[in-house]
Structure 1
Amino acid sequence: MASNNYNIYKTDNGWAIKGQNNSRVSQYADTQQQAYGRTREIVGNLGGGEISIHGRNGQIRAKNTIPNGNDPRSIKG
């Protein structure tokens, strides 16, 4: 089964949207907010999954589960 997990990170071309197991970037956005919004659409259309948002330093600063994804927490929030 294909992974619906995506990463958002800063590159010289803007904020990259890349599937976890993909070899190439899916799209670029001018801002991190635009990239996150587009990634939510992509992952939602795929049936849910995880989004990892990386800061400018490359470290993961936030993770979000889109509905029907694999949320490790059993409570909402």
Structure 2
Amino acid sequence: MSNPKDVHVVRHGDDWAARRPNTERVSKVFDTQKQAIDYGRQIAQRDHSELLVHNRQNQIHHRDSFGNDPCPPTDKD
């Protein structure tokens, strides 16, 4: 289940957009996926949430966590 503060980068017509989960309204629309990722990353870092980047088929391509990692790494020294 997605946190309401998470940021999704998704296709929006021929463009890319950043939006919150379970909303139809997008935060901002961009010409390129990279621009949308950069914007979404700033928002996710500010809100200590996750950035989920979708591909053209709307499948999650990758995700980055900024302070709210549900499965944090365990380092063993």
Normalising TM by the smaller chain, what interval?
0.7 to 0.9
Cα-Cα RMSD: 1.9
Corresponding residue number in structure 2 for 1:17: 18
Q: Which runs of 5+ in 2 are unaligned?
A: none
CA distance in 2, matches of 1:21, 1:57: 18
Cα deviation per residue 1:12-56 (whole Å; 9 max; x = unaligned)? 15101001143411111111111010011112222x111111101
Indicate the SS of the match to 2:56: coil
Corresponding residue number in structure 1 for 2:45: 44
CA distance in 1, matches of 2:28, 2:20: 10
The answer as to whether partners of 2:7 and 2:43 remain within 8 angstroms in 1 is: no
- Normalized against structure 2, the TM-score is what? 0.78
- Normalized against structure 1, the TM-score is what? 0.78
Q: Which runs of 5+ in 1 are unaligned?
A: none
Number of residue pairs aligned between Structure 1 and Structure 2: 73
Corresponding residue number in structure 1 for 2:36: 35
Letter in 1 for 2:42: E
Q: Tell me, yes or no, if structure 1 residue 3 matches structure 2 residue 16.
A: no
